[in-house]
Every structure is written in structure tokens, then in C-alpha cells.
């Protein structure tokens, strides 16, 4: 029953400005994970259904655009009780909010393969600004981006009622991604 992460994260579908090349996510090689604690014990999970759309030109990173779209019902931790609870109204409320979305424009180079972007993460209809540091390695037409952020799950309304205190489920949720994409054109 943990929450959060969105996601997603992140949930990104990326649409690019005209001069940026489009990149297509390789679902079988990409992973969107989340983590948290329950009764003090750490747990990890993944979102099994998400997409990323990316527009990026290494010579013009400020024009980059990325959007992750995450199916919140696809959250899996391997624990039956937790996996049954996550779609409920106290957690992701997948009936009312089937997707979490992260969308950002512009990448800021920070030296080497390090970048940062600022965007909006929306979970359960609540949008918050998120600064996302990540690494990006491009080899030919293949790109791999990896990143990790920590979120306060209650800032997104994840973990309602008895779950909002953090007594049973930690308030901080981690979101990690390893995104592999192939260049598909300009």
C-alpha cells in the first residue's frame, strides 16, 4: 500500500519541439520503480505499464521535452496484500485517477552525463513541481537515462485516512527510472 511514486515515476510521454529529435522508449529494456517502508521494513516495486515520449537534441538541450504517463493500476511489489491495496481509494484511487504524469521542458547540462530538468508531477489529480536530476548517455541512436527522486507521498494525497500519518507506511517514497530509447527522427 505504498503509494506513490509515481511513480512515477515517473509516467512520461515525450513530445518534442520541432528542432529536437524524437526518441522512442524501449519498454522491455526500461524500468520505472518505486520504494518505501512499511512498518519500518523497506519494500520495492515497479510500474509495469508506462510510456515515455521524448524530444531531445544534444546540441539544444533547453528545447527538450519529456512526458511520462504511468498506469497507476500497474503498480506491483510482489506482496499480495500491498498490491491489492495500492489501487484502492486510500492509495492511487485508480478508478478516479488511472494515470500519473510527469512532464518537463528543457534539460540543464550539469557536466559530463549529468542533467537536470524541472517539471510537473501529477498524481491523484494533484500537481507539484519536481526537480529531476538524471544521467543521460547517448551512443549512436541509443539513449539511456537514469534518475531517482524522493517524494512526500501525502503531498499527492497518496495514503488517505489512517495511512496519512506515516505510522504504518513511511511518508517518503522513492522513484527511480532507467529509460532506454532509440532515436526515431527529427
Q: What is the pLDDT along the chain (186 residues), one digit of tens a residue?
A: 333 333 333 333 333 334 568 999 999 999 999 999 999 999 999 999 999 999 999 999 999 999 999 999 999 999 999 999 999 999 999 999 999 999 999 999 999 999 999 999 999 999 999 999 999 999 999 999 999 999 999 999 999 999 999 999 999 999 999 999 999 965
- CATH number, domain containing residue 59: 2.40.128.110
Cα separation, 115 vs 111, in Å, equals: 7
Check residue 21 and give its pLDDT. 86
70 touches 47 (CB < 8 A): yes
**Is residue 15 assigned to a domain?**
no
Residue 76 lies in a domain: yes
Does the residue 11 lie in any domain? no
Question: Is residue 44 one of the residues assigned to a domain?
Answer: yes
Please return the burial class of 172, using the count of CB atoms within 10 Å of its CB with bins 0-12, 13-18 and 19+. Answer: middle
Total count of domains within the chain = 1
**Is position 7 within any domain?**
no
Cα–Cα dist 106/117, whole Å: 6
Half-sphere exposure of 13 toward its Cβ, with a 13 Å CA cutoff? Answer: 9
* Domain boundaries, position 39: 21-185
How far apart (Å, rounded) are the C-alpha atoms in residues 153 and 105? 24
Say if 3 falls within a structural domain.
no
Is residue 5 one of the residues assigned to a domain?
no
2 occurs within a structural domain: no
What secondary structure does DSSP assign to 27-84, as a single string?
GGG-EEEEEEEETTEEEEEEESSEEEEEEE-TT-GGG-EEEEEEEGGGEE-S-HHHHH
* Amino acid 173: pLDDT: 97
Amino acid at each position: 500500500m505504498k503509494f506513490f511514486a509515481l511513480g512515477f515515476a515517473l509516467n512520461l510521454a515525450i513530445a518534442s519541439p520541432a528542432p529536437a529529435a524524437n526518441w522512442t522508449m524501449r519498454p522491455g529494456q526500461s524500468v520505472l520503480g518505486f520504494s518505501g517502508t512499511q512498518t519500518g521494513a523497506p519494500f520495492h516495486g515497479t510500474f509495469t505499464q508506462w510510456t515515455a515520449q521524448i524530444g531531445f537534441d544534444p546540441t539544444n538541450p533547453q528545447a527538450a521535452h519529456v512526458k511520462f504517463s504511468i498506469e497507476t493500476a500497474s503498480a506491483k511489489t510482489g506482496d499480495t496484500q500491498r498490491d491489492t491495496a495500492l489501487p484502492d481509494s486510500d492509495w492511487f484511487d485508480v478508478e478516479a485517477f488511472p494515470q500519473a504524469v510527469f512532464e518537463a521542458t528543457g534539460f540543464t547540462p550539469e557536466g559530463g552525463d549529468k542533467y537536470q530538468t524541472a517539471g510537473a508531477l501529477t498524481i491523484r489529480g494533484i500537481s507539484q513541481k519536481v526537480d529531476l536530476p538524471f544521467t543521460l548517455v547517448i551512443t549512436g541512436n541509443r539513449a539511456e537515462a537514469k534518475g531517482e527522486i524522493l517524494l512526500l507521498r501525502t503531498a499527492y494525497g497518496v495514503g488517505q485516512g489512517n495511512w496519512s500519518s506515516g505510522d504504518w507506511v513511511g511518508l517518503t517514497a522513492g522513484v527511480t527510472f532507467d529509460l532506454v530509447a532509440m532515436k526515431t527522427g527529427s
